[in-house]
Amino acid sequence: MLEAGTKAPDFTLNDKDGNPVSLHDFAGKRVVLYFYPKDNTPGCTRQACAFAGAYEAFKSLDAVVIGVSKDSVASHQKFAEKYGLPFVLLSDPERQAIEAYGVWQEKKNYGKVSMGVVRSTFVIGPDGVIEKVMPKVKPDTNAAEILEYLRS
């Protein structure tokens, strides 16, 4: 997993409407880039809704929120519509950004080992350098912790 002080790898992925979005599109802004395992699962839904609930606070701090998972554009569209998600959701089925940021890792669940996305959040500064890395975040507190960090 990437560390604070590292230049954030650029990427271009499709958003929920099928439009290409690149990290460099947000140069000069702080970016909250969060990776999550799957649309419409309990933890991922709570995390997304927490970011949605705090969206105005992020905007007031001039921070952009971007969620990334392996789900399809169509899945993201349904997820965003169902829960009224106002931020960017990017589809990464080829794991381009997921692997570049080192969040594709071995996971253990009920004794079963598999590869998957480790729920992680990166705060990228206006200069494109990673300011903060939060690996293995909790879905319910992640948005609030990031806001607290941005306000400090």
- Whether 3 is in a domain gets the answer no
CA-based R_g, the chain, Å: 14
Distance of alpha carbon 17 from alpha carbon 38, whole angstroms = 18
Would you state the pLDDT for residue 109? 81
Residue 90 structural domain: 12-151
Give the domain CATH number at 49: 3.40.30.10
CA–CA separation, 140 vs 30, rounded Å?
22
**Per-residue pLDDT at 110:** 87
Q: What is the pLDDT of residues 59-91, one digit of tens each?
A: 999 999 999 999 999 999 999 999 999 999 999
Choosing from 8, 31, 32, 44, which is the catalytic residue? Answer: 44
Total count of domains within the chain: 1
Indicate the Cα dihedral angle 138, 143, 149, 152, nearest 10°: -140
Higher pLDDT, residue 111 or 52: 52
14 and 20 Cβ atoms separated by less than 8 Å = yes
- Look up 44 and say whether it is catalytic: yes
Answer whether residue 101 shows pLDDT above 90: yes
When pLDDT is cut at 50, 70 and 90, the band that residue 56 belongs to is very high
Q: Is residue 74 part of a domain?
A: yes
Domain presence at residue 39: yes
Residues 69, 117 contacting (CB under 8 angstroms): yes
Q: Residue 5 domain-assigned?
A: no
pLDDT band, residue 108 (cuts 50/70/90): confident
Residue 62: inside a domain: yes
pLDDT in tens, 3-48: 999 999 999 999 999 999 999 999 999 999 999 999 999 999 999 9
Question: Is 4 part of a structural domain of the chain?
Answer: no
